[in-house]
Amino acid sequence: MYRLNAWVSVPQWAMAIALAALVGACGGNKETSSTGGETPAAGGGEKVDKATAGNVAGTVTLDGTAPKNDAIKMNADPVCLREAKGPQLQETYSVSDDGKSLANVFVYVKDGLGNYAYDPPTEPARIDQKECRYHPHVFGMRVGQPLEIVNSDPTLHNIHALPKSNQEFNNGQPIQGMKMTHTFTAKEVMVPFKCDVHGWMNAYVGVLDHPYFATSDKGGKFEIKDLPAGTYTIEAWHEKLGTQEQKVTLAAKEAKEVTFTFKAAGPTTTNNN
């Protein structure tokens, strides 16, 4: 039986009990095995010929000085203080050491793919609740691909998804090591997550019906591989600085470099043709 930590106050006791009861019962979420079944191939057209496909790679840069990330106070949960180890900041503006490149930007093909069929993902996507943070903070996955949700902390978490096109769900995980899965049924950029127990926890997922997406790394780098020849709209999304679009035309086997530049003052919506 799950034992609540001695530090929990009376109101939090009630919240913990209610959230624990949500496991497998809230938001109409369907729990499956950790790997789930095979996802049907998206689209009804021909398969992409990877031998003739091209790549789009690039960098997300920042024009100006990024605002300071908010400090996180974990005093309400001593377990979080112990697990997180040291001062914690939000990941809203995750920049390179020189402050010129921007991580956690979701970059994807927004338009131009036509009617191709794609192989189903072979592995589930994964989000972990560890050190009282969500890992990763921004990521992408496919429609129909199982999302494995893990609690690696010895304290109660819940994951509350707030989509617009998909079904909302809210699942409590009171025990360390608990896993559950959820499957999104419609494409949506982006779906926010929050934890109702620890208000500082947040993350975002882009759900797409194709495999052409990436998240910029610490150096602002991203790469979208195996794109067939064509003209595409590529969109870059940041949680506070808005979105930008660029048109990219690829010939067979061609590789192109693109740069998205966000103004630190944001938010922006820019079309670069």
Model confidence at 17: pLDDT above 70: no
Among 224, 234, 219, which Cα is nearest to 272's? 234
Model confidence at 267: pLDDT above 90: no
42 within 8 A of 118, measured Cβ to Cβ: yes
Tell me the residue ranges of DSSP E strands in 73-132: 88-89, 106-111, 125-130
pLDDT of residue 36: 36
Model confidence at 157: pLDDT above 80: yes
Average pLDDT, the chain: 86
82, 133, 169, 149: CA torsion to nearest 10: -90
How far apart, in whole angstroms, are the C-alpha atoms of residue 109 and residue 19?
37
How far apart, in whole angstroms, are the C-alpha atoms of residue 253 and residue 229?
8
> Are β-strands 106-111 and 88-89 bridged in parallel, bridged antiparallel, or unpaired?
unpaired
**Per-residue pLDDT band at 35 (split at 50, 70, 90):** very low
How far apart, in whole angstroms, are the C-alpha atoms of residue 206 and residue 77?
30
**Averaged pLDDT, 241-250:** 97
pLDDT of residue 159: 95
The residue among 272 and 99 whose pLDDT is bigger is 99
DSSP string, 125-174: EEEEEETTEEESSEEEEETT-EEEEEE-SSS-EEEEE--SSS--EEEEE-
SS3 (DSSP) at 123: coil
Angle at 59 between CA 53 and CA 63, to 5 degrees: 150
**Averaged pLDDT, 79-102:** 93
How far apart, in whole angstroms, are the C-alpha atoms of residue 190 and residue 205?
6
How far apart, in whole angstroms, are the C-alpha atoms of residue 161 and residue 134?
13
Model confidence at 198: pLDDT above 80: yes
pLDDT of residue 11: 42
Model confidence at 37: pLDDT above 90: no
Question: How close are the terminal C-alpha atoms of the chain, in Å?
Answer: 59
41, 44, 47, 53: CA torsion to nearest 10: -100
Which residues neighbour 117 within 8 Å (Cβ) at sequence distance 6 or greater? 41, 42, 43, 44, 45, 46, 47
**Averaged pLDDT, 89-108:** 96
150 within 8 A of 129, measured Cβ to Cβ: yes
SS3 (DSSP) at 84: helix
